[in-house]
Amino acid sequence: MPSCRASCPRRSFEPVLETVWVERLDEAASREVRALLLAARAVDGRPEVSEGGPLPFGDGLHLLGRADGQLVGYAQLDTTGDSFGRQVAELIVDPGHRRRGFGTELTRTLIAKADRKLRIWSHGDHPAAARIAEREGLARVRELLIMHVYVEGADWPEPTLPQGVSLRTFVTGQDEQEVIDVNARAFEWHPEQGSLTLEELRATENEDWFDPAGFFLACAPAGAGGTDTADGRVIGFHWTKVHPADPDSFGGEPVGEVYVVGVDPAAHGGGLGRALTLAGLRHLRERGLRQVILYVESDNAPALAVYSRLGFTRYAVDVQYAA
């Protein structure tokens, strides 16, 4: 695809940013992008990227911004969009080339390419992103909180399940469809989680971190706990995750995550969400982990209340801006 020169006025001694959109990153571009993301992670703590393995951003279009031949900025535009059809973008400027207007130029190029429902992430609520958003008329429309708790001293009692509900762990090859069905009902409102597919769940089972022993399912007989589910059907789940030790995060220790807690709306009101959360937290503690994190929408008051009572406090925030 042809390249284009950004039109923002610049001082003569500053390099001009040249941008190009590509549908796929070739091997050389992938190395450049990985190096840029690793440099950003060393300064910002984000994104989650390693020396090996896949890049953290998925399919779509890739925007490469170069100055004097060097990659100084990168954006990825998910053209498929979230559960509500909104295109979503990630944008990162190399730490050594910030405060030169490159972020603004990349943002304008991104907005010009995307549709009118574009959402752009600012991981860690970066002040520079807020300044660019204000200048470009972008609205702050979503806050995703990262909450954190130290395991030592946390009061996590044995979970109390609603009457008739039993707890077991996930069985690979058996429980996928029921989990997908409950997930779709529980997260119908969520931009990402509600669109989880059977194929995506099965693909996750091949990830190194996947552990069915940390994937808890709540099951109930017909009518138990006010539900209308059939005998033994899944009515909720808590999927935990363990992140390997990273020298740039959480003191270089492995960290557990309350990855997803989902409860069928028909089973709300009986304390099942809290019971599932406790089951997963106690499992992570038994694995010897000293810290646990979770992600939760800032306007999800019921979930925030549950997590706060379990000792979680606000650690960081990711923000979405809308064009």
| Strand partners for 147 | 294, 314
* 45 labeled binding residue: no
Q: Give CA–CA dist 191/223, Å, rounded.
A: 31
* 117 labeled binding residue: no
* 124 labeled binding residue: no
Determine contact, residues 106/19, Cβ cutoff 8 Å. Answer: yes
* 235 labeled binding residue: no
* 309 labeled binding residue: no
Q: How far lies 145's CA from each of 2, 289, 320, in Å? A: 39, 21, 12
Q: Give CA–CA dist 317/122, Å, rounded.
A: 9
| One-letter amino acid of 118 | L
Q: How far lies 71's CA from each of 41, 172, 202, in Å? A: 16, 43, 35
* 251 labeled binding residue: no
| Strand partners for 242 | 256
Tokens of 30: 């992938």
Determine contact, residues 277/258, Cβ cutoff 8 Å. Answer: yes
* 198 labeled binding residue: no
* 257 labeled binding residue: yes
* 27 labeled binding residue: no
Determine contact, residues 289/143, Cβ cutoff 8 Å. Answer: no
* 69 labeled binding residue: no
Tokens of 193: 């989680």
* 269 labeled binding residue: yes
* 113 labeled binding residue: no
* 201 labeled binding residue: no
Cβ atoms within 10 Å of 72's Cβ, excluding its own: 23
Q: Give CA–CA dist 25/1, Å, rounded.
A: 12
Determine contact, residues 246/38, Cβ cutoff 8 Å. Answer: no
* 65 labeled binding residue: no
* 179 labeled binding residue: no
Report which of 40, 29, 63 is spatially closest to residue 123, judged by C-alpha positions.
40
* 263 labeled binding residue: yes
* 268 labeled binding residue: yes
* 51 labeled binding residue: yes
SS3 164: coil
* 92 labeled binding residue: yes
DSSP-derived letter for residue 76 is E
* 319 labeled binding residue: no
Tokens 């406790």 label which residue? 278
* 270 labeled binding residue: yes
Binding site for acetyl-CoA: residue ranges?
91-93, 99-104, 261-263, 268-274
Residues contributing to the annotated binding site: 51, 91-93, 99-104, 192, 241, 257, 261-263, 268-274, 295
